[in-house]
Structure 1
Amino acid sequence: MDLNSGLRSFARDPKWAKNLVIVVDEAHCIPRWKDSFRKTYASIGAFRAYLPHHVPFIACTATATPRDVRVICETLQLGADVDIINLGNHRTNLIWEVRTMKGAAQSVDEVDFMVPEGITKPEDLEQQLLFCNERGQTHVLAHRLMQRLPEHLRHTVEIYHSLRTVRQRAWTMYRFERGETRIIVCSEAIAMGCDFQNVTRVVQFMITDSLTTWIQRGGRGGRNPALTCRCIMLVQPSVFQLV
């Protein structure tokens, strides 16, 4: 890991070191991306070389398989005396559901249920997240949902992915938090650290690359424990075919 001189000096300053704690949030990203998308994640543990021995490392995640836990501990160079606290990730206000699609990527009508007939005002729509595995698919599905709405309500559907500008993404988040946007059609980019309080439906268009990914995405809903959220995965028929 490339640490600039300012960060190294800060880490070694006794005045800070005695109160220093290193927290690695969303730690499931280490085993998921350290060998490909974010190779620098593999070097996070090297930061220990710049710290006094007593400085604690804390890794937090809502989803980690036993293998993920081992990889996280190895990567962060956590010793044999590491304490592993597993509080589970079951949330009683999330209802998980699988629906079989009629087709696959071209079956855009599979998401029509997200916009029922008779919508006349924004509040008639639940606040929803629609996850896609590819950025291009977000535009296709957003267009589909917009076409089901009266023209004066089409602005309530927005797109969020990593190729949108910082300003566009911030504006989408702001409008969604205010309830002005009702549906965000999004990629993985929105799943990191967002804390929307009023999402009552999360839909995944086609199967994810892992169960962990789906749990992370579905977990973006129901952040308000007083609300129930349906987490619906739309699965293409080929997944159910026996070989």
Structure 2
Amino acid sequence: MSITINEHLTEALKKLGIANLRLQQEAPMEAILNNEDVIALMPTSGGKSLLYQLPAVMEPGSLTLVISPLKALQLDQVDALRSKGIRAAVLNSDLSAAEHSSVLEDMTRRGGLLYLAPEQLRSPAVAEALQSCPILTRIAVDEAHILPQAKDDFRKAYGKIGSFIDSLSLHPQVIALTATATRKDVARIRKSLDIDNASLFRTPLRRDNLHLCINHIDNSKIRKGKRKPSTENVPFQSVERELSKWDEDGAVIIYCPTVKLVKRLCKWLKARDYPVGKYHGKMKHAKRKAAQQAFMRGKKPIMVATNAFGLGIDKPDVRLVIHAGLPLSMDGYVQEIGRAGRDGKKSRCVLFFTKADFERNKRILSHSGGNKAIRRKLKRLNALHGLVDSKKCLWRVIEKYFGEKPQKKCEKCCRCRQKSV
């Protein structure tokens, strides 16, 4: 093990309820404890949060700012830390003005882990309190893959994090964390956060417990008696056939590219008595929260959702991830299959697409920003199109896209199995 084990480190791990660091955590943790800026790329469930939680526990009285995009994720982590006697708090718009001020004053005076969304940094009161805080020693930027997309009208507040850091009187350590980033994305993260000299740690994306399968649905070849089924029903039938193989062990996430498809597929499956819920960005917050809780507690173990669902969802037993249509990008696809098999057990990831999906996605993206933003988004879509058309090992194609040296063929994805038959 490269990192030096001492009594202080052992005690901090024990307080967090962890026996040992994972192999992929050792090198970045050593750099972080040496006060280096760090960019860490780790697959979903790789243990990214420990990289900022452990040093915070080892330095009582210091303040670690955790910038994270989702309230639910922030609350989950804070509740878990508090249950272990670790100082942690969330700063968000759900707090009253008095509560907001109290949390801000307490954390900037006594330290701990303070979680907030980047939009909070727009508040003059928040910015001023943090700028004058002498104990702010570390800033962790979670889901850092959002940074390169901030220019493309997605969470623009992420694009302002770098200028906020530059405004601080004492430059803190910066830790950027994500599951997926191409080489160009890493360069943009460095530039956005002004951490040109940050040490980069990349854990291999491939997860051997995830078996990938991509199926092209050719509507022209499918007939039902004398009548041809609707173009919508054909993929729905494919999803239902896949669900029929599910042994009701663990959970299922079915991703749809549009809200309209989420609603229709959910209705289709409910009519067939599947325990299904739905989740999309146009639902009211209370309904989204209720749907998420029903899924997490196993009451409705099948979730039909847009890509609004999944970021920060920590459910270890998702056994099946289905894409009922082509996602909008290679990056999104890899993020979403990462929800499966977080407990390390064998899980299946199936993508169904039709010829029309690619043109539909191009139309969606052509109305999503300026010309440069659209070109960047189309490049990510084209990469996914290349994946579904490829005859090569799917994991090797994914590795090449993200700048990793491709490993041996996985021998488990649908492309590898086709060649072995």
With normalisation by structure 2, the TM-score equals 0.50
Q: Could you say if the C-alpha distance between residues 77 and 158 of structure 1 is closer, same or farther in structure 2, counting changes exceeding 3 Å?
A: same
1:111 and 2:239 equivalent?
yes
Q: Could you say if the C-alpha distance between residues 15 and 41 of structure 1 is closer, same or farther in structure 2, counting changes exceeding 3 Å?
A: closer
Higher relative contact order (CA 8 A, sep 6+): 1
Stretches of structure 2 that go unaligned for 5 or more consecutive residues are 1-118, 220-230, 357-384, 390-421
Distance between the aligned counterparts of 1:128 and 1:181, measured in 2? 9
Q: CA deviation at 1:126?
A: 5.0
Q: Which amino acid aligns with 2:241?
A: F
Q: CA deviation at 1:27?
A: 1.0
SS state at 2:266 partner: helix
1:201 and 2:320 equivalent?
yes
1:220 and 2:220 equivalent?
no
Q: Following superposition of structure 1 onto structure 2, how do residues 37-76 of structure 1 map, counting pairs within 5 Å?
A: 37-76=154-193
Distance between the aligned counterparts of 1:111 and 1:219, measured in 2? 19
Q: Could you say if the C-alpha distance between residues 166 and 183 of structure 1 is closer, same or farther in structure 2, counting changes exceeding 3 Å?
A: same
Aligned to 1:210: 329
Q: Which moved more, 1:98-107 or 1:205-214?
A: 98-107
Aligned to 1:128: 252
Q: Could you say if the C-alpha distance between residues 159 and 208 of structure 1 is closer, same or farther in structure 2, counting changes exceeding 3 Å?
A: same
Q: CA deviation at 1:220?
A: 0.8
* CA deviation vs aligned residue, 1:181-231 (integer Å, no higher than 9, x gap): 121000111121111121100001121222111010000111111x21101
Bigger CA radius of gyration:
2
Q: Which amino acid aligns with 2:353?
A: V
Q: Which amino acid aligns with 1:65?
A: T
Which of the numbers 144, 160, 165 marks the counterpart of 1:27? 144
Q: Could you say if the C-alpha distance between residues 32 and 3 of structure 1 is closer, same or farther in structure 2, counting changes exceeding 3 Å?
A: closer
Distance between the aligned counterparts of 1:22 and 1:105, measured in 2? 46
Q: Which moved more, 1:181-190 or 1:166-175?
A: 166-175
Q: Which amino acid aligns with 2:299?
A: E
Q: Is the 8 A contact 2:323 2:351 kept in 1?
A: yes
Q: Is the 8 A contact 1:177 1:196 kept in 2?
A: yes
Distance between the aligned counterparts of 2:165 and 2:252, measured in 1? 41
Which of the numbers 166, 172, 179 marks the counterpart of 2:298? 179
Q: Could you say if the C-alpha distance between residues 134 and 55 of structure 1 is closer, same or farther in structure 2, counting changes exceeding 3 Å?
A: same
Q: Which amino acid aligns with 1:116?
A: S
Q: CA deviation at 1:86?
A: 0.8
Q: CA deviation at 1:3?
A: 2.8
Q: Is the 8 A contact 1:63 1:216 kept in 2?
A: yes
Q: CA deviation at 1:83?
A: 0.9
Percent identity over the alignment is 26
SS state at 1:58 partner: strand
* CA deviation vs aligned residue, 1:104-149 (integer Å, no higher than 9, x gap): 65532221124429x9xxx846520000111111011111212222
Distance between the aligned counterparts of 1:132 and 1:197, measured in 2? 21
Distance between the aligned counterparts of 1:39 and 1:231, measured in 2? 31
Q: CA deviation at 1:172?
A: 1.5
Aligned to 2:87: none
Q: Which amino acid aligns with 2:189?
A: I
Q: Which moved more, 1:6-15 or 1:179-188?
A: 6-15
Q: Could you say if the C-alpha distance between residues 124 and 38 of structure 1 is closer, same or farther in structure 2, counting changes exceeding 3 Å?
A: closer
**Size of the alignment, in residue pairs?**
229
Q: Which amino acid aligns with 1:90?
A: R
